[in-house]
Structure 1
């Protein structure tokens, strides 16, 4: 409900209200009289409003922004007369549902409504709540008022520490939550953002650390020199360093007035980008821009690796992101061009996310032959070699991923450079074993063969594929992997600190299974040359990688690169390593390269960067 009345100053309104109360003409609501409640009283000094669930009346504020689209419309108000407590936000979102509110920026308003703590995406996801007013009515007192000054996010205002730790250190609702802790905005980045919830914030000349997405959002950093990658991103190098200066930017500006910038990592939003600080479940705290900086293109280019030498075997890994014959031809062409031109036509390619022949159509088809046929044809058309392939089709709907897609890992190889040792017996359910060959060296009981497919570790997840290759008379074993995703994990910005990584248990078990398989090969022949590659969905510093390298069975090659180059994926503005290549001890002469062609760019053929390993067996 919206009311307009003759313009009066807040002081005059207060005098009128006081006189009416004295005359007994007005009743005081049980919640609070208008003069008693201001925005900072609603926000309080913790993550939860002390007035949650209560109705408040005539809360004063200046309209700083209006969201007039989508199903979460409303407007932000900010109190131009703040209190002295930095922990209490002076901003608040007034939710109007699917109705566009009849207010304008600069209006001085008195708002009444119910205080609510809203959890975007649901409370079960572990995210923060957003304090707002619902069922609101308001009165416009005056228009054209000056807006409160924006809070500037910069290195000196963003604390080095990211989040407080829950006192009990546990997990789950009411256990491990930091919601009831007093906010310490000068000590923790998450506390700072919570203390600014709903207030206008700004960044100046902000560097882009996460490219523009298809949803119209981009990640920038207020700390441009913190953990900087060689190409302008921000490296996520440990659980203790989530990079608190990262913040997502969305726009409230109509597209016709100012199109959203199509930015790559390392670009800049020059000048001022400002707007109220919101929160959602797709990245956390978000600057909803009413003023957008101008995009400066810093010219990020896609990398190209060198060709392998005649005596070098090159092995690559590439997550091709739900590839099927239904994928647009342009994506096949781009993947092919990258493999030929940017990766220099590797001898062996471990592919992840190869779907069956009709993609997400959910029927009984499981073969990926049509997908691989179309990809290899595109590679040939791009000037690459005529690759052969090997796969083992999964059981229908048993390996996770997009429903109906039946994603799996697969091998491509250049038969002019390397041969594949075909040993029958491999299928979706038969485990591959290490066996001794005629000369006492290691061999596979089935090639290609799946590693321990009945192990519960692989439930609803892709099974690793082992293959036996021969290059210049030397046998090399390659294991293609795609470990289970991080789906279900709590975000870095979770109200539970430290956030729970529930998916990690399964990846550790998967890593143990692969480690045991490689160990069995080495038990037959300690000089066996093994390459383990793929999208492992975890970091070099994770327990899963510790399990995979346990006993020095494998060496993770990402650890051999300079720190500012150790990434293959960009998520919420953090450049991170999810894809890996590891080798056994016998692989001692190698050259390893992560080839950045996708993850840092708004225009992507896949969301992962490929990698290439060149070895001299």
Structure 2
């Protein structure tokens, strides 16, 4: 199957794996004889024999990996001990196609290593392995040890222990408590043959032939069959990634809400992209849940419809223009204003100094007309080349589309890529100094990140201020299965600074005109319960309207089995005070294997 893994690092000693975590001293003798797999695995995440040579460790081969850079095989002891904290399985890294078969009884001699998928800088946990192996086959055709059944009763409710404060909150040196914590439970069966049965898909099949299921069908269940990421303390312990040990051509092409019926069985691995993963030698049968893409309501004559839609690095070479146009016209019902995120310049990722995006935008507008929609007009500001982050050379930016038959844009000169837009008072009303304009573009908070685009619109004689955002991404944050618990969300620092600036700009408008109708929307790259959202809402300037939905419908994105909010539309007090608004998270992408973007668009309808 395809692999996203970087080249395998050299086998890491325990010191490299632990980083600042509790180091496990390497003891003499340098070679250990007569060990079983549970001795090698030990009762913590780090083998007590890491860095040492071991001799004649016995086991039955339960799976072979013959692709990618992590070639090797798993063995499992058919005679387990009575300690639930010690795994009975281990991966043997050969680096080339293994010469053993499932059912072989073998002994393995080699060096115990702790391999960190993606490298130690990721903060990932390590996989205990035997490397540089000498393998002796004793017999063939033996029964494979019965798989451990992973189900709702087996997986604890709590996600992870709190790490050792003296070791930067690493959990590596803590004794496993598999009956108390989900991460400890999964670690206690690392490398073993495991099984799940009749499990619901909660993240659709991706291009790498992976999907996510839940063994806890009622854990934060969303209305359409996913699992809601409800809080930092409720991370859905029943989530499990599924890959295939064999060819990927027959891998299930699943959407959220589908079911893998029957049994799915294979070794439990840990990888860079999602942590604990069942690498299936036997896959269940896919049963469709019949999930359909949603369509929102059409705005009434007196309603203004405002949407946000991340179109995922759209450039003229993409083949998705017709699909995006159909989504805007049919699923979103042609909103009056659409804030687009991730519009790339006219030659996409080619890094030649091009910053204009008129070809990209006009190609989308033409596709919308072809799909039966209105001919939108548009406004944007080209960024300084290579200064706004995103795909190198792509120069992504936010763009306003608006239907000139329904709403007008107030053009006011002076806005450019480096000049900050301000707020003035004219005839007792707030007015932008430039429209469109960018919010504090020179502030360090926007380094290598998209600057907000602000504009004035008029609908039925009423001015509406709209601020289009694409805040700093979560790149660099530690994964939920990291060795550091609680995980470090390093990207928040910049995002919080950005949210502070957006909040302050909205307050500037409201200080001049307290009843101004202001909308801040876009890809906020953070959850509705996050500190970022709290800052955006600070002082009552804004309120995230997705909170008007039932909790089971509050999601715009699906990542590693967690349905979550990244895209938001926040509204000022005047819009909320009227109470005459409707919010819709229109699920057309995030739950589907054939998505044209990884984000679901959001629509707000209200009467200014």
TM-score (norm 2): 0.94
How far apart, in 2, do the equivalents of 1:255 and 1:550 lie? 48
Aligned equivalent of 2:3: none
For structure 1, the 5+ residue unaligned runs are 1-27
Q: Go from structure 1 to structure 2 and tell me whether the alpha carbon gap of 1:30 and 1:574 turns closer, same or farther (over 3 Å shift).
A: closer
Aligned equivalent of 2:83: 85
Deviation at 1:255, TM superposition (A): 4.0
RMSD: 1.0
How far apart, in 2, do the equivalents of 1:473 and 1:421 lie? 12
Matches within 5 A, 1:157-172: 157-168=154-165
Q: Go from structure 1 to structure 2 and tell me whether the alpha carbon gap of 1:456 and 1:255 turns closer, same or farther (over 3 Å shift).
A: closer
Deviation at 1:29, TM superposition (A): 8.2
Match of 1:290 among 281, 285, 302: 281
Cα displacement string for residues 183-227 of structure 1 (whole angstroms, at most 9, x for unaligned residues): 000000000010010001111101000000001100001111100
Match of 1:350 among 339, 351, 355: 339
Instruction: Note if 1:325 corresponds to 2:316.
Output: yes
Instruction: Note if 1:477 corresponds to 2:472.
Output: no
Aligned residue for 2:573, secondary structure, equals coil
Aligned equivalent of 1:300: 291
Matches within 5 A, 1:252-401: 252-255=245-248, 259-328=250-319, 331-401=320-390
Instruction: Note if 1:564 corresponds to 2:557.
Output: no
Cα displacement string for residues 248-274 of structure 1 (whole angstroms, at most 9, x for unaligned residues): 000012346xx0000000000000011
Deviation at 1:602, TM superposition (A): 0.3
Matches within 5 A, 1:110-259: 110-168=107-165, 174-255=167-248, 259=250
How far apart, in 1, do the equivalents of 2:68 and 2:522 lie? 39
Aligned equivalent of 2:14: none
Aligned equivalent of 2:19: none
Deviation at 1:70, TM superposition (A): 1.4
Aligned residue for 2:194, secondary structure, equals strand
Aligned equivalent of 2:582: 591
The number of residue pairs the alignment matches comes to 578
How far apart, in 1, do the equivalents of 2:70 and 2:383 lie? 42
Matches within 5 A, 1:403-422: 403-422=392-411
Matches within 5 A, 1:22-41: 31-33=31-33, 36-41=34-39
How far apart, in 1, do the equivalents of 2:573 and 2:135 lie? 71
Aligned equivalent of 2:98: 101
Given that residues 209 and 248 in structure 2 are in contact (C-alpha distance below 8 angstroms), is that contact kept between their aligned partners in structure 1?
no
Aligned equivalent of 2:59: 61
How far apart, in 2, do the equivalents of 1:63 and 1:403 lie? 45
Aligned equivalent of 2:598: 607
Deviation at 1:434, TM superposition (A): 1.1
How far apart, in 1, do the equivalents of 2:248 and 2:454 lie? 50
Instruction: Note if 1:465 corresponds to 2:453.
Output: yes
Q: Which runs of 4+ in 1 moved over 2 A?
A: 253-256
How far apart, in 1, do the equivalents of 2:526 and 2:137 lie? 52
Deviation at 1:32, TM superposition (A): 2.2
Deviation at 1:553, TM superposition (A): 0.5
Deviation at 1:594, TM superposition (A): 0.4
How far apart, in 2, do the equivalents of 1:422 and 1:29 lie? 78
Given that residues 253 and 291 in structure 1 are in contact (C-alpha distance below 8 angstroms), is that contact kept between their aligned partners in structure 2?
no
How far apart, in 2, do the equivalents of 1:377 and 1:120 lie? 45
Q: Which has the larger radius of gyration?
A: 1
Cα displacement string for residues 350-398 of structure 1 (whole angstroms, at most 9, x for unaligned residues): 0000000000000111011111010000000000000000000000000
How far apart, in 1, do the equivalents of 2:376 and 2:69 lie? 49
How far apart, in 2, do the equivalents of 1:479 and 1:43 lie? 54
Given that residues 354 and 407 in structure 1 are in contact (C-alpha distance below 8 angstroms), is that contact kept between their aligned partners in structure 2?
yes
Given that residues 508 and 547 in structure 1 are in contact (C-alpha distance below 8 angstroms), is that contact kept between their aligned partners in structure 2?
yes
Aligned equivalent of 1:442: 430
